[in-house]
């Protein structure tokens, strides 16, 4: 192939960003977008996007890959398989989780995890989970971590080995404020869930549906309210992860209206699935067990409304894959559950022993596009905002999430008219099911370009493991505190 003016030109498509939609060509050199315009010179490689959309590559700012348990167990979704699925589904970057095991320092937790991540085919960054904010973690380890570009912390208000007390949560918030990091929060009330679980088990109610009964919306609403109140006390910006219901979203909307810096994320499962998916023959309801839980039919439409009004401004996958046959039916010691389970006569685990999580890194964009754009709930620009531009802005992923000269050439050529039925057999993840099996979707990615390299085409993944890059995140002003603290006293300077 003779050398062109550009390394790659994407031609003939309709370019869509968070704010604009226009006919244009994109010229790429050295992995970056060099030009956006008309009549660009030839590319050494050319991608024909005629009749297609050209979007920024998706950014999935919440997914779980190859997480290591304290018992030596490892999640079956590896960085190689999960990132292949990401690219095939139009996602070029993701943020996953560095764990902390309770009773251990960050350095002791999950040794070699960052080495494992180097096998990724997509670009990646980390959130650091904090389960044990000891003085060493707070004073030494978190500052060192932020200095090397891990600029977000994740805390859980539920799950037995992971959750923080309110006092511990305040310490993490104050630390993040001092260092200029974002805090992301899993909001559910641990004690309330434990109390309901005991009652359900005592009543002999052990099916997957009872997972949802053990943690109804009020449990999520209470913890969302509390997380926001404590963040407001510290004046520390936060993101509420995986909002599943309108009650929790309304807490975010109210706080934003009074000027609190709080953002809300939701996921395709909360926009499309319901209790019905937990009530399936042959224990298949276990496939839909995730936390927060799926809600009653009709709730998803209310969550869509909070996307439309801007309260929920990022849609991630929360990909957390546990295969049905090997893990959902035969749980090991996953952290993502709330133990004390009883035996069932059919040998299946009681609802509270089923590991929590659904796979969705590859289906996130097609499901959201189909249910959102194709069905008229959101615009094309909203789609880009929710899946690429806002994650880049909120998490400080410089050079990602937009189509402008100088940005990384992360692009997805999208066929808005392609009609497909979601089939697990055609997906690239390592999990033996998808909760969207058989869903008819309109809109599918055809070519994924990551930093100028064609990494997936028509379902074939071309990128090699190890071709993804770690994305260090420097300081950025978007998540600066408001400067408003009660009584003008900034306790985080002393606490």
Cα–Cα dist 273/422, whole Å = 14
Cα–Cα dist 285/135, whole Å = 42
Helices assigned H by DSSP within 298-426: 299-308, 364-368, 380-384, 390-395
Q: Which tokens belong to 61?
A: 């700012």
With beta carbons less than 8 A apart as the criterion, state whether 433 and 418 touch: no
Q: Which tokens belong to 52?
A: 């297609």
With beta carbons less than 8 A apart as the criterion, state whether 380 and 53 touch: yes
Residue 214 makes contact with ligand URP by CB under 6 A:
no
Residue 265 makes contact with Zn ion by CB under 5 A:
no
Binding partner of 290, given ligand URP, Zn ion, none, CB within 5-8 angstroms per partner class: ligand URP
Q: Which of 186, 211, 215, 295 binds ligand URP (CB under 6 A)?
A: 186
Q: Which of 52, 64, 287, 328 binds ligand URP (CB under 6 A)?
A: 64
Residue 356 makes contact with ligand URP by CB under 6 A:
yes
Q: Residue 159 Cβ, how far from ligand URP at the closest point, in Å?
A: 7
With beta carbons less than 8 A apart as the criterion, state whether 477 and 237 touch: no
Residue 126 makes contact with ligand URP by CB under 6 A:
no
Binding partner of 356, given ligand URP, Zn ion, none, CB within 5-8 angstroms per partner class: ligand URP
Cα–Cα dist 263/414, whole Å = 28
Q: Residue 262 Cβ, how far from ligand URP at the closest point, in Å?
A: 18
Cα–Cα dist 300/315, whole Å = 13
How many residues sit in the footprint of Zn ion (CB under 5 A)?
Answer: 2
Radius of gyration of the chain (CA): 22
- With respect to ligand URP, which residue has the nearer C-beta, 318 or 453? 318
Q: Residue 151 Cβ, how far from ligand URP at the closest point, in Å?
A: 19
Q: Residue 47 Cβ, how far from ligand URP at the closest point, in Å?
A: 35
Q: Residue 437 Cβ, how far from ligand URP at the closest point, in Å?
A: 19
- With respect to ligand URP, which residue has the nearer C-beta, 77 or 410? 77
Q: Which of 138, 183, 185, 320 binds ligand URP (CB under 6 A)?
A: 320
How many residues sit in the footprint of ligand URP (CB under 6 A)?
Answer: 10
With beta carbons less than 8 A apart as the criterion, state whether 16 and 54 touch: yes
Binding partner of 336, given Zn ion, ligand URP, none, CB within 5-8 angstroms per partner class: ligand URP
- With respect to ligand URP, which residue has the nearer C-beta, 129 or 412? 129
- With respect to ligand URP, which residue has the nearer C-beta, 157 or 368? 157
User: Which part of the chain contacts Zn ion (CB under 5 A), choosing from 179-187, 297-305, 423-431, 447-455?
Assistant: 179-187
- With respect to Zn ion, which residue has the nearer C-beta, 151 or 154? 154
Residue with token string 């980390």? 126
Q: Which of 66, 247, 318, 410 binds Zn ion (CB under 5 A)?
A: 318
Q: What DSSP state is assigned to residue 163?
A: B
Q: How far is CA 487 from the centre of its chain?
A: 36
Q: Residue 6 Cβ, how far from Zn ion at the closest point, in Å?
A: 39
List CB contacts of 348: < 8 A, sequence separation 6 or more: 283, 286, 329
With beta carbons less than 8 A apart as the criterion, state whether 357 and 318 touch: yes
- Each residue 357-386 as x (binds ligand URP by CB under 6 A) or -, in order, gives x-----------------------------
Burial 338-347 (b: 16+ CB within 10 A, else e): beebeeeeee
Residue 34 makes contact with Zn ion by CB under 5 A:
no
List CB contacts of 103: < 8 A, sequence separation 6 or more: 132
Q: What DSSP state is assigned to residue 63?
A: B
Distances (CA, A) of 466 to 67, 114, 118, 386: 18, 12, 5, 27
Q: Which of 174, 200, 252, 290 binds ligand URP (CB under 6 A)?
A: 290
Q: Which of 11, 52, 119, 186 binds Zn ion (CB under 5 A)?
A: 186
Cα–Cα dist 290/106, whole Å = 26
Binding partner of 155, given Zn ion, ligand URP, none, CB within 5-8 angstroms per partner class: none
Residue 331 makes contact with ligand URP by CB under 6 A:
no
Residue 77 makes contact with Zn ion by CB under 5 A:
no
Cα–Cα dist 198/415, whole Å = 49
Binding partner of 196, given Zn ion, ligand URP, none, CB within 5-8 angstroms per partner class: none
Q: Residue 242 Cβ, how far from Zn ion at the closest point, in Å?
A: 6
Element (H, E) at 165: none
- With respect to Zn ion, which residue has the nearer C-beta, 277 or 318? 318
With beta carbons less than 8 A apart as the criterion, state whether 82 and 319 touch: yes
List interacting residues with Zn ion (CB under 5 A).
186, 318
Q: Which residues bind ligand URP (CB under 6 A)?
A: 64, 186, 242, 290-291, 318, 320, 336, 356-357
């Amino acid at each position: 192939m003779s050398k062109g003016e550009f390394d790659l030109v994407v031609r003939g498509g309709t370019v869509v960003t968070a704010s604009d939609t226009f006919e244009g060509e994109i010229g790429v050199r050295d992995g970056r977008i060099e030009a956006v315009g008309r009549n660009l010179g030839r590319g050494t490689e050319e991608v024909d996007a005629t009749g297609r959309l050209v979007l920024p590559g998706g950014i999935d700012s919440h997914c779980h890959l190859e997480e290591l348990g304290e018992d030596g167990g490892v999640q079956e979704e590896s960085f190689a398989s999960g990132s292949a699925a990401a690219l095939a589904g139009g996602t070029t970057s993701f943020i996953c989780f560095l764990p902390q095991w309770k009773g251990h320092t960050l350095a002791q937790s999950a040794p070699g995890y960052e080495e494992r991540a180097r096998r990724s085919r997509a670009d990646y960054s980390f959130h650091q989970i904090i389960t044990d904010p000891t003085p060493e973690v707070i004073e030494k380890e978190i500052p060192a971590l932020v200095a090397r570009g891990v600029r977000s912390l994740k805390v859980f208000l539920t799950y037995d080995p992971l959750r923080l007390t309110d006092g511990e949560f305040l310490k993490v918030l104050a630390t993040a404020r001092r260092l200029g990091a974002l805090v992301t929060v899993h909001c559910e009330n641990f004690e309330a869930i434990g109390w309901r679980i005991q009652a359900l088990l005592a009543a002999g109610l052990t099916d997957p549906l009872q997972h949802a009964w053990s943690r109804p919306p009020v449990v999520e609403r209470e913890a969302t309210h509390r997380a926001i109140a404590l963040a407001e006390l510290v004046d520390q910006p936060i993101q509420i992860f995986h909002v599943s219901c309108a009650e929790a979203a309304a807490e975010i909307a109210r706080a934003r209206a009074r000027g609190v810096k709080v953002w809300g994320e939701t996921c395709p499962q909360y926009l499309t699935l319901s209790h019905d998916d937990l009530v399936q023959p042959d224990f298949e309801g276990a496939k839909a067990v995730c936390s927060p839980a799926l809600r009653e039919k009709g709730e998803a439409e209310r969550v869509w409304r909070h996307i439309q009004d801007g309260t929920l401004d990022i849609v991630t996958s929360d990909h957390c894959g546990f295969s049905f046959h090997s893990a959902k039916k035969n749980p090991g010691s996953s952290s993502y559950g709330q133990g004390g389970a009883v035996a069932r006569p059919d040998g299946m685990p009681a609802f509270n022993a089923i590991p929590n999580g659904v796979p969705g890194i590859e289906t996130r964009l097609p499901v959201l596009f189909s249910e959102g754009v194709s069905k008229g709930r959101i615009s094309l620009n909203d789609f880009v905002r929710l899946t690429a531009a806002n994650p880049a802005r909120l998490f400080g992923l410089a050079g990602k999430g937009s189509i402008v000269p100088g940005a990384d050439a992360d692009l997805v050529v999208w066929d808005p008219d392609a009609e497909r039925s979601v089939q697990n057999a055609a997906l690239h993840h390592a999990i033996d099911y998808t909760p969207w099996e058989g869903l008819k979707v309109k809109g599918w990615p055809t070519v994924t370009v990551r930093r100028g390299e064609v990494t997936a085409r028509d379902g074939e993944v071309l990128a090699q493991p190890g071709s993804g890059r770690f994305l260090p995140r420097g300081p950025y002003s978007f998540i600066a505190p408001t400067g408003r603290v009660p009584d003008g006293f900034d306790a985080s300077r002393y606490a």
